[in-house]
Amino acid sequence: MNQESEVRVWVDAPISKALTYSCAHLEFLPPGSVVTVPLGKRKSRGIVFCVGDDSTPSPEESANIRIKPIDEVRTQWPALKKERLKWIEWLSEYYLSPPGPIAMMGFPPLDKKSGRSRKHDVVPATQGELETPWKLNEEQATVFSGIGSQLDQFGVHLLLGATGSGKTEIYLQSLAKVLENGKSGIVLVPEIALTPQLIRRFSMRFGSDLIAVFHSQLTPREKTNQWWDCVEGRKRILIGARSALFCPIADLGMIVIDEEHEASFKQHQGFKYHARDAAIVLAQLLKIPLVMGSATPSIESYANALSGKYQLHVMKHRVESRSLPTIEVVDLKNLEESGGNLQHISASEQTRNDSHQDDSAEARDTNTHSGTSAKKSSSSKEDLPWLSPLLESKMLDRLRAGEQIALFLNRRGLAQGLVCTGCGSRKECPNCTFSLTLHAKTHLVCHLCGYFENYNFLCGECGEYQLMPLGIGTEKVERELALRFPSARILRADRDEIQNREDTERFVDAIEKGEVDIVVGTQMIAKGLDFENLTLVGLLVADIGFNLPDLRATERSFQLLTQMSGRAGRHKPGEVVIQTFNPYHTALKYALSHDYIGFAEYELEQRKVLSLPPYGRVILLEIKGSDEAATKEWAKNSAATLKQWVRGRESFKGIDIIGPTSAPIYRVRNKYRQHIVLKGLDSQKLRFLAGQWTDKFKKTRLQLSVDVDPIDMM
């Protein structure tokens, strides 16, 4: 067959190579076209990757396999451009994932409809005149000049800006120049930070007619309509979570990533890509700038800026010379009669880590309060183990002043779990090695798999009716606050209360209108929210996450402490109270002084010693199975095979095979999890080894997955 009448197609199936099909019966079919092809006994969508040529016989021809014709060309879908095809090819090769499903991520869930209804606009119509650009301060002007002078070329710009330093204004004015040049822009934000506040800010500047939004709460029809508006050039700025990157928006001229450090930019299921790294490669192929901003950049990004791979722009000060909030620490260990529940939280999940202690005079800052001394000034009310006298006093002051308070606790529910006072056993999910959380005093929920059962006090181990709630959650804090401050208007913000965009809009609207005095929430209230009257932030048990068995635990803790503290005093003088059992933890030490650079230098030094990212590369191989013994045995044999491959081979020199080990969360949805870690300096060698592993063992009945550059190993 004349190979010009053949095309290679990435099919929407878990197949790692392009398949060859005949197109002799069709007119010229350019690469990037969407087609329907036969695949076994069914039909599959696919993307034409390339047209065959005489110099490269197809794998099917070489094997004397009959080449089937393409069934249909989906002419209603625009063809992907060559830069997008090269990008998909890179994503497939780098993340060891089939290219077809990746390519199809760039298309909407439904077919196009003519005369689409505009009844429910995703982006509310702009009211009144558009906002004029703000006058930039000296720091902002320097950063804007550096970015604006390089709009016609590839470059990665890292904005290291304190919370409230005006990074969003840099994004807005940079994108305005992009639009002036006839181009469009993509703005990636963490899903949790994709709030009405952010969308409103962009709409007020550019007009709602130019703004499109992608996020998980859109209906399939809404997402399809938004997609077509971008592809056909009606919408020029697309704001969305990581999946927005795959939309082939017309004339893309800039990519912005806000809060680039956020873990939600990494996809954890299926195709395990990192949107930040994927965006950098796309920008490089398109020869356009990429702007990333954060008050707490990922350690990898900061290291790349130090090495010159990225351009570093530093903004140390808040806009209008507003001061950063003052931070005070309460040592919960010293609170008299602090109650057993909080102590249980600390003992079970935050084991004291001596390597993260600093007992120097500098670390023992005068703003670390002893609960014992503070106790003397407390009221006669019944003590709440999670509420220190210092925090309570400051809350009363802010309530009297008519200002707002945010209390942060990264635990939902009434209690973190249940323990039997008779035999000491904990109530765990029957499907996962994970404690059940008490909700609404009536039912227990697993936050991993969704398992649900009624709460009846019965211990399944000893048969005694002695199960008691352990620890606290946001629901319990909300209830106890209502008793402590009966006249205060309290709002809880966690995934139990805020489940869709309507809930989010009501939450933001209530705070902005002053209808709320105290917000109690999980990490969703730490993400990019800006409330004018919020002047006090309290972190109730800051230890959660300090000592998790993960290489980025300290980094994440520092980021969360800094980001949550940054919600306070963005328009008025603010204060932060951090309650902790470990007041000398490294993350807290640097967060107290708002010292990101000091923390990053410390963390880089620790990782350099262990050849951890960014100095080394890591790939996580995960094996899951329903038979515990068989899964362990298979993982053991698999690791032995890997070690045998590596042993004595010069091409694999410097690669370490670690494991197998049981995952920290050992069982999820009745699947037992084993981990093997590949560690070394050369990413290409590691990926080649991981690819050989999946090819050799792909026929096993166990579930295998490869995570290149994992951001956690839980």
**Which residue shows structure tokens 């019966």?**
25
The tokens of 225 are what? 């309509």
Residue 119 lies in a domain: no
Structural contact between residues 23 and 5, judged by C-beta atoms closer than 8 angstroms: yes
Shared domain check, 703 and 679: yes
Give the span between the Cα atoms of 192 and 524, in whole angstroms. 6
pLDDT at 3: 53
Helix, strand or coil, per DSSP, at residue 285: helix
Q: What is the pLDDT of residue 376?
A: 35
Q: How far apart are CA 583 and CA 330, in angstroms?
A: 8
Name the residue with higher pLDDT: 607 or 460. 607
* pLDDT, mean of residues 195-215: 91
Instruction: Tell me the two tokens of residue 473.
Output: 């959650």
As a whole number, mean pLDDT of residues 504-530 equals: 85
Residue from 491, 494, 497, 468 nearest 478 by CA: 491
**Structure token digits, residue 681:** 């300096």
> Does residue 671 lie in a domain region?
yes
Is 197 in a helix, a strand, or coil? helix
Query: Is residue 109 one of the residues assigned to a domain?
Result: no
**pLDDT tens digits for range 407-440:** 999 876 555 667 777 777 778 888 888 778 877 6
Place of tokens 């060698």: 685
Q: Is the pLDDT of residue 285 over 90?
A: yes
DSSP secondary structure, 235-248, as one string: --EEEESGGGGGS-
- The pLDDT score that the predictor gives to residue 193 is 64
Tell me: pLDDT of 581 over 80: yes
| Residues 482, 442 share a domain | no
pLDDT of 73 above 70: yes
What pLDDT sits at residue 242? 94
Report the first-to-last Cα separation within the chain, whole angstroms: 52
> Do 295 and 366 fall into the same domain?
no
Q: Which residue is listed with tokens 């600093």?
A: 358
Do 295 and 268 belong together in one domain? yes
pLDDT of residue 413: 59
What pLDDT, on the 0 to 100 scale, is given for residue 336? 47
Residue 231's pLDDT band (cuts 50, 70, 90): very high
Task: Identify which of 527, 508, 524, 528 has the alpha carbon closest to the alpha carbon of residue 516.
Answer: 508
- pLDDT exceeding 70 applies to what percent of the chain? 87
pLDDT at 340: 40
Instruction: Identify the CA nearest to 711 among candidates 349, 351, 298, 309.
Output: 298
The per-residue pLDDT for 4 is 60
Residue 370 has pLDDT above 70, yes or no: no
Domain of residue 41, CATH code: 3.40.1440
Give CB contacts under 8 A, 24+ apart, made by 87-90.
87/278, 87/281, 87/282, 87/285, 88/10, 88/47, 89/49, 90/281
3-state class of 520 per DSSP?
A: strand
Residues 209 and 289 in one domain: yes
pLDDT given at position 201: 92
Q: Is residue 451 part of a domain?
A: yes
Average pLDDT, the chain: 86
Name the percent of the chain in helix, strand, coil, to the closest 5: 35, 25, 45
Same-domain status, 558 and 591 = yes
Q: Are residues 456 and 567 in the same domain?
A: no
pLDDT in tens, 320-342: 888 889 999 999 888 744 444 44
Percent of the chain clearing pLDDT 90 (strictly above): 60
pLDDT-based confidence at 392, cuts 50/70/90?
very high
Using pLDDT thresholds of 50, 70 and 90, give the confidence band for residue 714. Answer: confident
508 and 359, same domain (yes or no) = yes
Q: Quote the pLDDT of residue 476.
A: 87
- Could you give the 3-state DSSP secondary structure of residue 42? strand
Contact 75, 28 (CB under 8 A): no
At 465, the pLDDT band (50, 70, 90 cuts) reads low
> What ranges make up the beta strands (E) of 93-207?
155-161, 184-188
Together in a domain, 333 and 372: yes
What is the DSSP-derived secondary structure letter of residue 568? T
114-123, 126-135, 216-225, 496-505: the lowest-pLDDT one: 114-123
CA distance 639 to 636: 5
Evaluate whether residue 33 is within a structural domain. yes
Last residue of a domain, one of 291, 319, 347: 319
Whole-number pLDDT of residue 630: 96
Cis omega (within 30 of 0) on the bond before 614? yes
pLDDT band (50, 70, 90) for residue 202: very high
Q: Determine how many CB atoms are found less than 10 A away from the CB of residue 584.
A: 19
Asked if residue 126 is part of any domain, the answer here is no
- Measure the CA–CA gap between 644 and 452, rounded to whole angstroms: 45
- pLDDT given for residue 54 in this prediction: 43
Q: Are residues 438 and 394 in the same domain?
A: no
pLDDT at 61 over 60: no
Could you write out the three-class secondary structure of 370-408? EHHHHHCCCCCCCCCCCCCHHHHHHHHHHHHCCCEEEEE
Please report the pLDDT score of residue 375 as a whole number.
37
Q: Give me the domain span that covers residue 648.
A: 617-708
Same-domain status, 486 and 635: no
pLDDT of residue 571: 85
Higher-confidence residue of 323 and 290: namely 290
284 CB neighbour count, 10 Å cutoff: 16
- The pLDDT assigned to 38 comes to 95
**Which of 607, 629, 656 is the last residue in one of the domains?**
607
Q: Do both 237 and 96 map to the same domain?
A: no
At residue 180, the pLDDT reads: 97
pLDDT higher than threshold 50 for residue 672: yes
What CATH number is attached to the domain comprising 691? 3.30.70.360
Give the Cβ contact number of residue 306 at 10 Å.
14
Mean pLDDT of 653-666: 92
Confidence bin at 346 (pLDDT 50/70/90)? very low
Residue 588 makes CB contacts below 8 A (sequence gap 6+) with 329, 542, 557, 561, 578, 580, 582
209 three-class SS: helix
Which range has the worst mean pLDDT, 387-391, 462-466, 640-644, 683-687?
A: 462-466
Please give the average per-residue pLDDT across 332-354, as a whole number: 44
In a domain, 713, yes or no: no
261: amino acid identity, one letter: H
Q: Measure the CA–CA gap between 678 and 665, rounded to whole angstroms.
A: 20
The amino acid occupying position 603 is E
Q: What average pLDDT score do residues 620-631 get?
A: 96
Mean pLDDT of 659-685: 93
Domain termination residue (choose one: 450, 470, 490): 470
Q: Tokens for 535? A: 């002047």
DSSP string, 635-696: HHHHHHHHHHHHTT-GGGTT-EEEEEEEEEEEEETTEEEEEEEEEES-HHHHHHHHHHHHHH
